[in-house]
Amino acid sequence: MPRPDASQNDFNEPRATTAETAAKTNEEAASIASYIADMSDEMAKLASRCDMPMLCYFLNLARAEADMRARELGGYPIDRSA
């Protein structure tokens, strides 16, 4: 008896290779890391404006970590010059 979540179409569709799956996973992780870096940067700016130096510090630390991870995964650096 087939598993309840298995569909008949699974056998007819080409399967992605592990390299393709890994590349897609890395691309998604890089995108998420870039997003986290961007949001951390925005929140750090808000914390700085509201005189919350420790919160600003930790948010900048999170931004740096997320930026580093995005670069490791092949993501594009975020231009925050504006």
The stretch 5-18 carries a mean pLDDT of 62
Rounded distance, CA 41 to CA 62, Å?
9
Phi/psi of residue 3, nearest 5 degrees? -65, 145
pLDDT of residue 14: 64
Q: What is the pTM of this model?
A: 0.67
Name the percent of the chain lying above pLDDT 90: 55
Rounded distance, CA 13 to CA 77, Å?
36
The stretch 18-39 carries a mean pLDDT of 88
Range 24-27, long-range pairs (CB < 8 A, 24+ positions):
26/73, 26/74, 27/73, 27/74, 27/75
